[in-house]
Amino acid sequence: MSQPDLDAWRTQVRQWLTTVLEPARETEATGDLAVFHNLPEDEERLLLERCRVYQRARFDAGYQALTLPGDKGGAGLTAAHVAAFAQEESAFDVPPSTELISVTVRLVGMSVSLFGTTEQRDEYARAFLRTDLLACQLFSEPGAGSDLAAVRTRARRDGEEWVIDGQKVWTSGAQFADFGLLLARTDPDVVKQAGITAFLVPMDAPGVEVRPIRQMSGGASFNEVFLSGVRVPDRLRIGRPGQGWEVATTTLAFERTASGSGNRRKGGTFPDVLALARSLDRTGDPLVRQQLADLYVRTALRAATVDRVARASAAGDKPGPEASLTKLMASDLLSRTGQVAAELMGARISADTGEPGTFAWTQHLLGAPGYRLAGGTDQIQRNLIGERVLKLPPEPRVDRVPFSQLPGN
């Protein structure tokens, strides 16, 4: 299949965007500095609906899942087209997305498209990519976060159904989701990576309980999810039994790409810090100017790296470990941005003095550490880069035995 001319396609995208969005407003800082959403439930639902209206329009126009092969429900374009779309989109007032929208479209929708059956793609993948259905990610557990292959949630076969028992944690948007993409252990007598299977679990199924987790920033965008005797039909199994680890690693690679290069604003940015320095009359300080210059350079380097990784990706390829690089740079930039803002404000950051755009930075500072964990910790990203990109010797592994023989099992 021949690819459309990039410049002509870009013009077509720009013309379409003018029909569904308003031009971006010229503002120096948005005032929304939260890394993770911190909204009351009714406001979160309104935001979700705004996002879904745009996502549906984008899907209907053929601009969703751009690199997904055509036979999997995507547009079959190249990563260069993705970059071009993002550049054109940045000139418009796009509804601010949420973690749940991103997980639905860029993680679960893509994974079901790649690993699902024809029937699953027709019934679920299309609905996820269009956000007619919303899906959360049921991966992490209290004892299986960075070491995701250690999941202890169990699924046992019972005729044409699976019975699932276990607990998941740090699930964004579970209270609003229709389905969850879940990892469960189906064979404890093989090595831990080989005994995992993926399922789509209806979030309103009997035995599913969602408990919000109150964050130190005040919001409750994350949840614990408890599963007690949840019965899931075999037709909702994604991939083969035991293929869950492949589904998980592919989904996490999509997550790292989304985390590192997504369009949704996460926390404060360099323009926000610059505006803060100007409002505090600190731009004449040589040390402050050095900090601002360093932050600007790191921002530019991250943008260049995101673009380079995107352009190096072939159309339809699964994202590789290079996605870890953009995710690592994104989390580091968030932390450094908060540090510079905190040094500029001093005591102002711990008390609301009424000065515009100051106390809001607490939302950034309290959320940035969590971003070092989302999608795999910084340490995991460095391991992936070292072992799979730089080809350094892998760390010693002592868990190459059946899962049932590991301590605690």
Positions marked catalytic = 255
Q: Rg of the Cα trace of the chain?
A: 22
**Sign of the CA dihedral running 57, 91, 98, 126:** positive
CA-CA distances (angstroms) from residue 293 to 270, 283, 342? 10, 11, 16
Handedness of CA 257, 263, 44, 66 (dihedral sign): negative
Partnered with residue 138 across adjacent β-strands are: 182
d(C-alpha 397, C-alpha 376), whole Å: 19
Complete DSSP assignment for 332-382: HHHHHHHHHHHHHHGGGGGS--S-TTTTTHHHHHHHHHHHTTTTS-HHHHH
> What are 48's two structure tokens?
């979700």
For residue 232, what is the enclosing H or E element? Answer: strand 222-233
Residue whose C-alpha is closest to residue 34's, from 370, 267, 338: 267
- H-helix or E-strand spanning residue 260: helix 244-261
CA 61 to chain centre: 23
